[in-house]
Amino acid sequence: MDSIVFLIMRRMRAPLIMLIASYAVAIMGLVLIPGQDGAGHPWSMGFFHAFYVVAYTSTTIGFGEIPYPFTDAQRLWVTATIFGTVAIWIYAAGTLIALLQDATFSRALAERRFRARVQRLRDPFYLVCGYGQTGGALVRALTDRHRRAVVIDLDPERVSLLLLENLREYVPALTGDARRPSNLLAAGLDHPRCLGVVALTDVNETNLKIAIASKLLRPSLRVVCRTDSDHVAANLNSFGTDHIYDPFDTFALHMAIAIEAPCLTLLRSWLIGETGTPLPEPRDPPAKGLWILCGYGRFGRAMYRHLKGQGLDLVVVDADPQLTDPPKGGFVQGEGTGAPTLEQAHIERAVALVAGTDDDATNLSIIMTARQLNRDLFVVARKNHLDNSELFQRVGAQVIMHPSMIIADGIRVRLTLPMLWEFLTLSRFQDPAWACELLSRLCGLLDTEIPEVWQIAIAADQAPALCAGDEHAAALTLGLLLADPRERTRQLPVIPLLLEHNDERHLLPDLALRVRKGDQVLFCAREGARSVMDWTLHDPHVLHYLVTGEDAPAGWVWRRLARRRRHRGASGG
Amino acid sequence: MNPEKVVFGFFIVLALTLNFGFVLGDIDNPAHHHKWELFAVIVVNLIATVLKFGDRSQVGALLLATSLVAMLQLTAAALVWIVAVYATADGLAAGTMASIVSLTAGAMIANVISVILLVIETFLLRR
């Protein structure tokens, strides 16, 4: 705020002083020059009249010669006054207008507005640095779930793009360099409601700087960082960055899991998808046979490492072996866009192909050529730009990998549903049949839409009814929470996925398990069941009904009556 | 020597001296207080106020505040004068003159503080 007022004051100093000086001279002249009144007697103008005349003359309003017609000497002076003061007025007004259009000024104005908006935030929010594809996807995912975010980006075009986006929550955005701590502070790094910093710029070094600044300025804050360099990742790890994301490694790991345990992959996609959208169909990658890997860059290397771990046959196709240093055995030099290269890689007996170069046109071309040579190929395509979505859908790839979306999804789950993340990590250590069994249970529960997944903490703010008194504490079980508040013999279409009690974790907890204060539970349900369950959590009468099966009288009078009736019943019976 | 400081100091001191000159004399005697002097005090004070614009320091803010106070008092004095001369039948009576002079005396206090601050700031800079 201060900087703007000071900027205006500093710039307006010269024009204002000139204005004051010219007014003073003009007024002095008018007072000094002798005039005549209506009857021709000598009369001299007072300061008040002189100021009045100069005020309306210099602003070009021009009321005429007041209070008496001027003498020639006065007219001569007023003529000079007009040219002097009017010109200076125009100069002053021009300076002010130029100031308003000044880039520095408008930036100061925008920054001030941004600061004020961030300071006014009353809901918890995340600070997202970098509004590219990943940042955009993350902000959209967060706001769709009614989480707030604040964005910093270097590129003014991206920031104005954000303003055009139709997001559900208002997202304050600042055009500025996130490497500068002052910008991070302006964006609410020290705001009590700031939950975490997410560094998603394209430059590893920038992300590193953001992470360092955040950890130094507020060590307790969660910092999530994207990087695709092992070197930077190790550096980030060294000072305690909470989560580090490498999109390629993450995807390659998923692919490996998909080959090993297809059910688990499907389960994951069901649980992290957007509630209410249709369930994705299962796409099982072939677990045996020859895989062709086109492109051996960062993505190709990560895929190679994880697929090799699955014991698959691999052939690598890369155009520039000097640069990428591919493995010695099973390597073919070439783009992969032409038939000869692919034939050399034994496309005819391959079961799957990964088009993983960093160029979308090359990837599409590889897929089209490969499809002509081998109809039954399982195709994994790497999509670099969101704009090309339709082309990738059309080319018929079974799995489309989009690095930005993968990171955005991962970070979103980590930030908004940490228990789901834990659930998914734990589920990886279960045997494959476990996931398939859970899938069939989910199938029975859901129609055809992605379920709603949420977590609650048994605490006074989220479950006041459960924490209110101790009378039902012994009867509180998971099964009770799942009972329908309208008819307690029925059950809500909800599956508890994970229960955390102190440090114990119960995966797919038993319904007879007790729920105590301080526990955390992760649920998954058909859309709409959550609001019904909230009823139980918030209303003590509903809880009473669920525990005892009777409708307890709520008001004071009815409670007294009920107690007397019970007394009479006890003494009479 | 910084020319900006010279101009700055000149106007602030001039505002005080002119103000003092106007206030000097019997409080209710119009013959002791000339309208030209009041005019000069107002113009010089206006310029001094504008010169203090845009200084971010603590002393700068205080200087601006004293000037604004002085301007408020002087404007009130000028308004009283104008109303007395042009809008009342009595003209410039002794009582009116007394209130004009007391208002400008108040402005002078503000100007004195201004000069003191200026002196303090100068000393601080020297050290």
Domain regions of chain A by residue span: 2-101, 122-245, 251-419, 451-548
Q: Does the distance separating the beta carbons of A12 and B46 come in below 8 Å?
A: no
Residue B90 CB: number of other CB atoms within 10 A? 10
Q: Does any CB of chain B come closer than 8 Å to the CB of residue A107? A: no
A251-419 belongs to which homologous superfamily? Answer: NAD(P)-binding Rossmann-like Domain (3.40.50.720)
Supply the CATH classification number for the domain A122-245: 3.40.50.720
Q: Does any CB of chain B come closer than 8 Å to the CB of residue A6? A: yes
Which residues in chain B are closer than 8 Å to A21, comparing Cβ atoms?
43, 47
**Predicted local confidence at residue B22, as pLDDT:** 94
Q: Which residues pair with A175 in a beta bridge?
A: A153
DSSP at A69: P
Closest partner CB to A9 (pick from B36, B46, B54): B54
Sign of CA dihedral A349, A355, A357, A363: positive
* pLDDT (mean) for A33-45: 89
- Residue spans of the domains in chain B: they are 3-126
DSSP A360-421: HHHHHHHHHHHHHH-TT-EEEEE---GGGHHHHHHHT-SEEE-HHHHHHHHHHHHHH-HHHH
In Å, what is the CA distance from B98 to each residue of A105, B73, B81, B91, B101?
Answer: 47, 14, 11, 13, 5
**Predicted local confidence at residue A553, as pLDDT:** 61
d(CA A342, CA A369): 8
pLDDT digits over A176-205, tens only?
A: 888 888 889 989 988 999 989 999 888 888
Give the total residue count for chain A. Answer: 573
DSSP at A449: B
Chain A interface, best mutation among B38, B51, B82, by max A CB count within 10 A: B82
**With contact defined as beta carbons under 8 Å apart, do A286 and A351 qualify?**
yes
Give the total residue count for chain B. Answer: 127
**With contact defined as beta carbons under 8 Å apart, do A198 and A128 qualify?**
yes
Cα of A500 to nearest chain B Cα, Å:
55
Highest mean pLDDT pick, A45-49, A371-375, B20-24: B20-24
SS3 label, residue A62: coil
Which residues in chain B are closer than 8 Å to A7, comparing Cβ atoms?
54
pLDDT digits over A326-341, tens only?
A: 777 778 887 778 888 8
Q: Does any CB of chain B come closer than 8 Å to the CB of residue A12? A: yes
pLDDT digits over A101-123, tens only?
A: 888 888 888 888 899 999 998 98
Q: Does the distance separating the beta carbons of B86 and A6 come in below 8 Å?
A: no
When comparing pLDDT for A403 and A26, which is higher? Answer: A26
**What's the CATH fold of domain A2-101?**
Helix Hairpins (1.10.287)
Cα of A181 to nearest chain B Cα, Å:
22
**Predicted local confidence at residue B127, as pLDDT:** 47
**With contact defined as beta carbons under 8 Å apart, do A355 and A383 qualify?**
no
Cα A450 to its chain centre, rounded Å, is: 21
What does the buried/exposed string (b/e) look like for A282-316 if buried means 16 or more CB atoms within 10 Å of the residue's CB? eeebeeeebbbbbbbbbbbbbbbebbeebebbbbb
Q: Does the distance separating the beta carbons of A47 and B50 come in below 8 Å?
A: no
- Reported as a pLDDT band with limits 50, 70 and 90, residue B3 is confident
Share of chain A above pLDDT 90, in %: 10
Write the single-letter amino acid at A518: G
Cα of B85 to nearest chain A Cα, Å:
9
Which residues in chain A are closer than 8 Å to B74, comparing Cβ atoms?
none
Taking CA–CA distances from B79, the nearest residue in chain A reads A48
Q: How many CB pairs under 8 A join A and B?
A: 42
d(CA A6, CA A114): 18
* pLDDT (mean) for B1-28: 89
The dihedral over CA atoms of B60, B62, B63, B66, expressed in degrees to the nearest 10, equals 160
Kindly tell me if the per-residue pLDDT of A132 is higher than 90: no
Q: Does any CB of chain A come closer than 8 Å to the CB of residue B39? A: yes
Question: Is it true that domain A451-548 has CATH number 3.30.70.1450?
Answer: yes
pLDDT digits over B77-119, tens only?
A: 999 998 898 888 888 888 999 999 999 999 999 999 999 998 8
Residue A6 CB: number of other CB atoms within 10 A? 16
Pick the closest to residue A140 from A385, A450, A408 (CA basis): A408
Q: Does the distance separating the beta carbons of B54 and A10 come in below 8 Å?
A: yes
In Å, what is the CA distance from A275 to each residue of A64, A154, A415?
Answer: 75, 33, 17
Domains A122-245 and A451-548 share a fold: no
DSSP A467-524: HH-STTGGG-BHHHHHEETTEEEEE-SEEEEEEEETTEEEES--TTSB--TT-EEEEE
**Predicted local confidence at residue A570, as pLDDT:** 62
When comparing pLDDT for A244 and B110, which is higher? Answer: B110
pTM of the model: 0.63
Provide the angle, in degrees to the nearest 10, between the axes of the packed helices A403-416 and A133-144: 40
Taking CA–CA distances from B11, the nearest residue in chain A reads A17
SS3 label, residue A43: strand
Contacts of residue A76, defined as CB under 8 A and 6 or more positions apart, other chains included, come to: none
Q: Does any CB of chain A come closer than 8 Å to the CB of residue B43? A: yes
Task: Using the structure block, give the residue that is written with the tokens 């793009």.
Answer: A161
Which residues in chain B are closer than 8 Å to A9, comparing Cβ atoms?
53-54
d(CA A371, CA B31): 108
Pick the closest to residue A521 from A450, A417, A427 (CA basis): A417
pLDDT digits over B42-65, tens only?
A: 999 999 998 888 777 778 888 999
**What is the rounded radius of gyration, in angstroms, for the C-alpha atoms of chain A?**
36
**With contact defined as beta carbons under 8 Å apart, do B104 and B81 qualify?**
no
* pLDDT (mean) for A426-432: 83
